[in-house]
Amino acid sequence: MMAAALGARVAPGPTKEIGWAPLQLTAEGRKSPLAPLGTTHWHGDNWDLPSGCTRLTATEHCPVQAFTAAPAQLALQFHLETEPVQFEAWLVGHTVELGKAGIDPRRLRQDARAFAAATREAGQKVFSAWLDTAVEVVA
């Protein structure tokens, strides 16, 4: 995890964030490749913002959902790569975790049908914009 590698505290959060939920973009986040987001969350940990980094997004239960350490370094606490088949495998593989968290996999499947295509499209835009930024920094 990039936050830990940069010396920040990583610990269990107050609740698991699993499913689709909006992100709160900071002013810097609205200017970043993350601007078009609506994302899939699947995590229980939170991290502190490492020293010298810029916070880009937050949620109610996770104050640092994404940050940048440098233009070519982007840390994400959410998933933009979620494909329907992959998501179904997550549901199967994490049945115990979902049950312990009181999360109904049927609701997650409904949300996947409603939001997965838009998440995939936004993810492609984000990764393309981030790669363009990374290439400019390296060049």
pLDDT per residue over 16-46, tens digit each?
A: 888 888 888 999 998 888 887 766 678 889 9
Domain contains 139: no
* pLDDT confidence bin for 139, thresholds 50/70/90: low
Domain with 120 in it:
2-131
Number of domains composing the chain: 1
Average pLDDT over residues 57-68: 92
What is the Cα–Cα distance from 117 to 113, expressed in whole angstroms? 8
Distance separating alpha carbons of residues 14 and 76, to the nearest angstrom: 18
Structural domain includes residue 88: yes
Beta partners for residue 18, in sequence order: 42
Does the residue 70 lie in any domain? yes
Q: What is the mean pLDDT of the chain?
A: 88
When comparing pLDDT for 92 and 117, which is higher?
92
Residue 136 belongs to a domain: no
CATH number for the domain harbouring residue 45: 3.40.50.880
Instruction: Let me know if residue 137 belongs to a domain.
Output: no
Q: Which residues is 74 bridged to in the sheet?
A: 68
